[in-house]
A = this chain, B = another copy of it.
Amino acid sequence: ADAAAAQAARARQASLTKPPGSLGRLEELAVFMAGWQRLERPRIDKAKALVFAGNHGVCAQGVNPFPQEVTAQMVANFEAGGAAINQLCRASGADLTVVALDLDRPTADITQAPAMSEPETLAEMRRGAEAVSAEAQVLILGEMGIGNSTIAAALACAGFGGDVQGWIGRGTGSDAAGLARKADAVRRACARHAGVQGLGILAALGGREQAAICGAVLEARSRRIPVLLDGFICTAATAPLHAADPKLLDHCLVGHVSREPGHARLLEAMGKTPVLSLDMALGEGSGAALALGVLRAALECHNGMATFAQAGVAGG
């Protein structure tokens, strides 16, 4: 981020008609945006949302109560405008693109083999990168993929260690037996692929949408486009980047903390403070799209408020 622009934005915040610091996180968000956009007064005229969808061989382990066909059905729902993410993007003024990644070709079962080969992984990363519009001023990332909370737990566990159980949650609605199967699958997958590092984690334990998210994050980084990550699955998708170098995620905010119990633990491990905490656990980019509203409000205050001098208010 550009230190001079961030400093100019900080100075502007101090001049606005409010007690210093009283807009709390809104001030930090405005300064963050200023740094990445290299503008004292950052703008969001064009917000893009990308939702990547993929299918996962690990579903063979009975980790999800829904059939994999639901992934394609939900993609059709996104395209028809009927899902939560459609409403939330409309509400927050984001332009949504859904990218279905070979849904008829699930990745390999991570308990048996690496999810993807290295060339496949790089190809999905490239698809993610190519989906990023150069003119976007902020990028919302989300995902859809039956079984991918198991993938997220495996990525988090490989990236950050700790007990498997702490990375496991109900996802789309697993019962106790389903949770036990998830934990067992993650344990076996992590044992099979023990020792993989950095982006190797992504090929061994990830999935197509996880690779696409990593590609989009890197592309946004190179274009200095700030990113709003969504919940547990989206954040966990970036664990291989964090393992390679935490700085690769400096331009990423996390829109919300999910009800999925591994998310708070993951955010703490990654040093990220979520914008919202609304007990949501849907994915699709829903928490990130909702947080865009807060980000817009932060910039409205930053750019639109009068200074003490302009308003003739004492105390500046």
Contact = CB atoms under 8 A, between A and B. Distances in A.
Interface of A: 16-26, 65-67, 69-70, 73-74, 76-77, 80-84, 86-88, 90-92, 171-173, 259, 275-282, 286, 290, 293-294, 296-297, 300-301, 304-306, 310-315
B294 A278 contact: yes
**Tally of this chain's copies:** 2
Given A23-B282, A279-B25, A300 B73 contact: no
Contact of A297 (B17, B259, B290): B290
Contact of A23 (B65, B84, B276, B310): B84
A315 B68 CA distance: 11
A82 B306 contact: yes
A205 to B, nearest CB: 23
Contact of A83 (B17, B73, B275): B17
B297 A87 contact: yes
A305 B84 CA distance: 6
Contact of A311 (B73, B294, B313): B73
23 contacts: A17-B77, A19-B171, A23-B84, A23-B286, A24-B259, A24-B278, A25-B280, A66-B314, A69-B314, A70-B314, A73-B311, A73-B312, A76-B311, A80-B311, A83-B306, A87-B301, A88-B297, A88-B301, A91-B297, A91-B300, A276-B294, A290-B297, A293-B294
A280 B294 CA distance: 12
Contacts of A310: 82
A282 B25 CA distance: 12
Given A66-B315, A294-B293, A18 B282 contact: yes
Nearest to A25: B278
Nearest to A311: B77
Given A88-B297, A88-B301, A278-B24, A70 B18 contact: no
